[in-house]
Structure 1
Amino acid sequence: MITPLDIQNKEFKRTIFGYSAKTVDTFLDEIIIDYERIYKENIELKDKINLLSDQIRQFNTMEDTLKNTLVVAQTTADEVTSSARQKAENIIADAELSGKKLIDQAHEDVRNIKKEYESLKREIYMFKARYQSFLQSQLISMEDFYKNEKDTDTDIVEELDNMGA
């Protein structure tokens, strides 16, 4: 690429029927000024393009990072949700198992209480039968005792009658 300095240092050969040196020099001065302005503008635009390209790369990198972060966040959220769901299912299963155990224990307690109740009923019945038997035997013993007493009293009264008579 020709620089403004190249144009400025350019010299033309002079000939007898050639162009006027003053006209060529004036024209070249105008070209140098315009070319310098365009050249500087071109450098500025290239710098701006480089700066914007760097920013685009940064934004693309940031976008990739955000996408990766969102993927990781989504994956983490899915894992947390799955873990929470699994924990909830485990808690429910444990609660159902505990409830079943409590119900089974309550049924066992009811059976034991019924057995104890039946055992106590038998004991009461046996106690009642024994006590009734005991009372009957006491009544019989008392009747025998009073019968014997009556016989003895009669014998004593007869002896007293015999002695006084």
Structure 2
Amino acid sequence: MPLSPLDIHNKEFSRAFRGYDEDEVDDFLERVIQDYEALIRQNKELEAQIEALNERLRHFENLEESLSKAILVAQETAEEVKANARKEAQLIIKEAEKNADRIVAEALNRSRKIAQEIEDVQRNAAIFRARFRSLLQAQLEMLDSADWEWFDRETKDLTSVESNL
């Protein structure tokens, strides 16, 4: 069992003829030296462990700092990506609205042209019907005219002449 400071302090040496018993003092000092050397070795080992642990602590602190910075950069990047996505979405929406407006305008123009063409066809059909009706009426009038009666008489006369021949 190692000596404690109290053991060293309370140690009493027995007296010999000329003072302390040298062998006893030497044995005690040898024990003190051994314990002291053991304590020094243990202290050095503990200091080495403390240094290693401090080094690991510095490493982990650096790692923590790096991770914190990386997290901040990632958050900033995420915010930038979100902002860019919002801007791009707005641009896409605006472009889609422009395209929709253009498509609607083109459709309206086409429907107006088709409506105009329908009106033109209806007008032309009405004109054609009126002209055709006029032509038919003129032909009917011509059929009902006296000139056909003359033609009928002449044709009958020729037919009778031919039958006589």
Match of 1:151 among 132, 138, 150: 138
Q: Within 2, Cα distance between the matches of 1:159 and 1:61?
A: 144
Residue 129 of structure 1 corresponds to 116
Once the 2 structures are TM-superposed, how far is the Cα of residue 159 of structure 1 from its aligned partner? 5.0
What are the superposed Cα offsets for residues 36-94 of structure 1, whole Å, 9 maximum, x if unpaired? 12211110110110000110011111112111211111111011110121012112202
What value does the CA root-mean-square deviation take over the aligned residues?
A: 2.1
Q: 1:58-73 alignment to 2 at 5 Å? A: 58-73=45-60
Residue 79 of structure 2 corresponds to 92
Residue 81 of structure 1 corresponds to 68
Aligned residues: 137
Is residue 2:127 matched to residue 1:140? yes
Q: Within 1, Cα distance between the matches of 2:135 and 2:64?
A: 103
Give the TM-score normalised by structure 1: 0.75
Q: Within 1, Cα distance between the matches of 2:77 and 2:146?
A: 100
Give the TM-score normalised by structure 2: 0.75
| Partner amino acid, structure 1, of 2:34 | D
| Aligned structure 1 segments of 4 or more residues deviating by more than 6 angstroms | none
What are the superposed Cα offsets for residues 3-24 of structure 1, whole Å, 9 maximum, x if unpaired? xxxxxxxxxxxxxxxxxxxxxx
| Partner amino acid, structure 2, of 1:54 | R
- Segments of structure 2 that go 5 or more residues without pairing to the other structure are 1-15, 154-165
- Higher normalized contact order (CA 8 Å, seq sep 6+, divided by chain length): 1
- Segments of structure 1 that go 5 or more residues without pairing to the other structure are 1-26
Residue 117 of structure 1 corresponds to 104
